[in-house]
Amino acid sequence: MITTLKRIFKLGWLNFTRDGGIAVVTCFILVITIFLASSLFLLQNSSQFLISSLQEKVDISVYFKEIVSEEDILNVKEELSKIPEVKNVKYVSKEEALKVFVERHKDEPVLMQSVEEVGGNPFLASLNIQAFEASQYQKVTDFLEDPHFKTLIEKVDYYQRKPVIERIFSLTSAANKAGISLSIVLVVVAILVTFNTIRLAILNQKEEIQIQRLVGASNFFIRGPFLVQGTISGILAALISLALFTLICWFLGPKIEIFFPDLNIFNFFTKNFWTIFLIQISTGILLGVISSTLAIRKYLKV
């Protein structure tokens, strides 16, 4: 058995080195496929990060009348926190609202002058409310429109912000579906391309396989070298892909961070290095072995 395995590995290596041109083409196809698989992993996680960041910016605000005390506002905040649909509630005092406005518009003299002319602090204390889903904001608004809160609340800006909220959640949902669909299409294309490439390599050895059949070689012995050949191609392609992926992430990381300050793909790559490495090695070996197995099947039929 050990002697047979040694021969299989030896023949597999000879097949790989003998068909140099086809081996290069196979590795090239596998590199592209593995790179796509890694890119999908990176893209999926990056898009989830961006979607989460975008959804974090979605909220509605409830503004309280000037005479309402901070204690009453915090009581409303506590009641809102008990609603299952509410993800987060943040209290913004009048002073904090003014500070945020000044910081945001400090380079706009017209707005700053208008605030000075009003005199004092024109802003109202508020609660910023985040829900888990766009559809849940209506229930939160209905809760706030209860007569119990009528004497406290000046206004709720849900209806003004409703179109924007629904649009953002619609876009994020579409992005998730598009990512899943793209992943499925690329996986199918990758398998088909890899299968046909390895099939060409096996076709070149059609006569050799037929001779092995005639002299009584077992299916295991005939199939073995091609599985080894596919595994070698997969591992080599994974290593090449890993090197390319590292360079691209290192190069693009700082550039993408300019547009998305909290997103650095190189840092994400280094934190998930072993996961990405495992994805690449697994993809390479599986594609090589599965494609070789499928391509050799017709020659093993009695």
Q: What predicted TM-score, i.e. pTM, was given to this entire model?
A: 0.59
The continuous run of DSSP H or E covering 105 comes out as: none
3 state DSSP class of 67: coil
Q: How many Cα atoms within 13 Å fall on the side-chain side of residue 211? A: 4
The answer for 119, left when phi > 0, alpha when psi is -120 to 50, beta otherwise, is: left
- Tens digits of residue pLDDT in 53-111: 666 667 888 898 888 888 888 898 988 888 888 888 999 888 888 888 778 777 777 76
- Domains detected in the chain: 2-54+169-300 (no CATH), 66-151 (3.30.70)
Q: How far apart are CA 54 and CA 176, in angstroms?
A: 13
Give the dihedral of Cα atoms 285, 237, 283, 295; nearest 10 deg: -60
Would you place residue 176 in the very low, low, confident or very high pLDDT band (cuts 50, 70, 90)? Answer: low
Q: How far apart are CA 14 and CA 215, in angstroms?
A: 20
Tokens of 7: 């021969």
Distances (CA, A) of 272 to 47, 180, 182, 240, 277: 16, 21, 22, 18, 9
- Tens digits of residue pLDDT in 256-273: 777 767 777 888 888 888
